[in-house]
Amino acid sequence: MPLNTPIISCHDCGLLQQISHMPEDGDIKCCRCDSTLRKRQRIEPSKSIEHTLTLVITALVLLLIANTYPILQIEAEGHALSSTLFSCVSYLFTHEMLFLAGLVFLTSIGAPLIQLTGLLYLFLPLHFNHVPPYAIQVYRWVRTIRAWSMLEVLMLGILVSIVKLSALATVIPGIALAAFALLILFIAAILSTLDTEMVWEQIAPDTQARETQQYTINTQLVNCHNCHLLCTVTTEHVQGENCCSRCQTALHFRKPDSLNRCTALVIAAAVLYIPANLLPVMVVSGMGTSEGDTIMSGVLYLASSGDMPLAIIVFIASICVPTIKLLILTLLLVTVHLKSQWRATDRTRLYRLTELIGRWSMVDIFVDTLMAALIQIEGLMVIEVGVGAVAFGAVVVLTILAAMAFDPRLIWDNMEQVNE
Ligand SMILES: [Zn+2]
Ligand SMILES: [Zn+2]
């Protein structure tokens, strides 16, 4: 095998593959499980830094506007009310829902801010051919935090809130809403054009070639979980603590304690899923009455008020997605535990599906928080976030962590053991 063509290990099935050339059309897919190994870059590497830097600066300006101005303004019974994202977080904070306040802050403000400032910190000096200090650590953080940035889900939450609020009051979308819509497009453009391999080559040059040359008969190849570099570990040191030579993440042949951690998280999520569906996620009080809304009654309300498409969207995001995710993770855990040979490619696809859909369950949390932060008209109508929303938020976080803890290569390890 020539040493100058990169050998990569598929992060979903662990198969070693050699990339001889980049195809003209489309990305390089794993020949066994169909996972994307390398994305085709549409922008020349020399222009990629400048291009990303422009997008990042624009996105940061949009993030600032989106957080300074109100997202929504409403007029009801002579009262004019407005809400920014910060006021949503501070509402939860002052109502002693610290977990939800932290979750909403992280997914709507914290994660996008860390992601964009991290990229600015890297790309501004790189534009002037200079590698900033701690570049590797910063880029590692930017990659890790990406899973928690949920602006597109927040946008859907805002749209659902507008429909729900328009039944109660006149809704005026704020400047921040337009800034949010643009911000989502810019972040999507950054993620689709960001050349990860090019960034690693700039901030940690030569690591790929060095790793390949060190490969001898006494070494074992280990794929880095974070940067996906194929690292060599000498067989005597395979049990000890090894770090990736490129991003310095601890190396493990498979995610440590994957099955136990994933099982514990799935059980915890399944238990909390019961109060999340039975307890009210939103409490509406006014004129001496108080009424709690569960997730299902919220969906039925939308359906009965003639918003069928929205009712279907909320039903899929808040009820189908968590249920499907818990069922898929349980299926994966059971089949891996039983060393099943059943449809490994399809099970790997199911795993990728759980990673893709999990975040959309956050819609209901965003809707409840926005409504509660806006409708606070003492004596007329007060909306509060119910305790069910805290349980539901915990289910979303636990299922995301469970999917992260599961190592899909365990599915294929069982297949290889039988073939040997
Ligand atoms: Zn694969
Ligand atoms: Zn690494």
User: What is the rounded CA–CA span in Å between residue 403 and residue 141?
Assistant: 19
User: What residue ranges do the domains of the chain occupy?
Assistant: 257-420
Task: State residue 231's pLDDT score.
Answer: 83
Ligand 2 center to 372 CA (angstroms): 43
Q: Tell me which of 1.20.140, 3.90.380, 2.40.128, 1.10.3470 is the CATH number of domain 257-420.
A: 1.20.140
Task: Give how far Cα 300 sits from Cα of 134, 143, 156, 280, 296, Å.
Answer: 51, 39, 18, 14, 6
What is the DSSP pairing of strand 376-377 with strand 250-251?
A: unpaired
If you measure from the C-alpha of residue 285 to the centroid of ligand 2, how many angstroms do you get, rounded to a whole number? 52
- What angle (nearest 5°) sits at the alpha carbon of residue 276, between those of residues 274 and 277? 70
Token output for 242: 């090894």
Q: Quick check: 99 and 42 in contact, CB under 8 A?
A: no
Ligand 2 centroid to 314 CA: how many Å?
38
Ligand 1 center to residue 199 CA distance, Å?
23
> Residue ranges of the chain with pLDDT lower than 70?
1-5, 45, 206-218, 235-240, 416-420
Predicted local distance difference test score (pLDDT) of residue 327: 96
Cα(231)–Cα(211) distance, integer angstroms:
6
The predicted pLDDT at position 64 comes to 95
Ligand 1 mean position, distance from CA 348 (Å): 9
Dig out the tokens for 230 from the structure. 């194929």
pLDDT score at 134: 92
Counting ligands in written order, the one closest to the CA of 139 is: 2
CA of 345 to the centre of ligand 1 (A): 9
CA of 245 to the centre of ligand 2 (A): 7
- Give the closest ligand to the alpha carbon of residue 344: 1
Give me the pLDDT at residue 151, please.
92
Encoding tokens for residue 175? 């400047």
Token readout for 88 is 């949503």
Task: List, as ranges, residues with CB under 5 A of the ion ligand 1.
Answer: 10, 12-13, 30, 32-33, 35
Task: Confirm if 70 and 172 have CB atoms less than 8 A apart.
Answer: no
Residue keyed to tokens 């960001």: 194
Q: Which amino acid is at 202?
A: Q
- Starting from the CA of residue 143, give the closest ligand: 2
Ligand with the closest atom to the CA of 204: 2
Question: What is the tens place of the pLDDT at every residue in 109-129?
Answer: 999 999 999 999 999 999 998
Its pTM stands at 0.89
Amino acid at 264: A
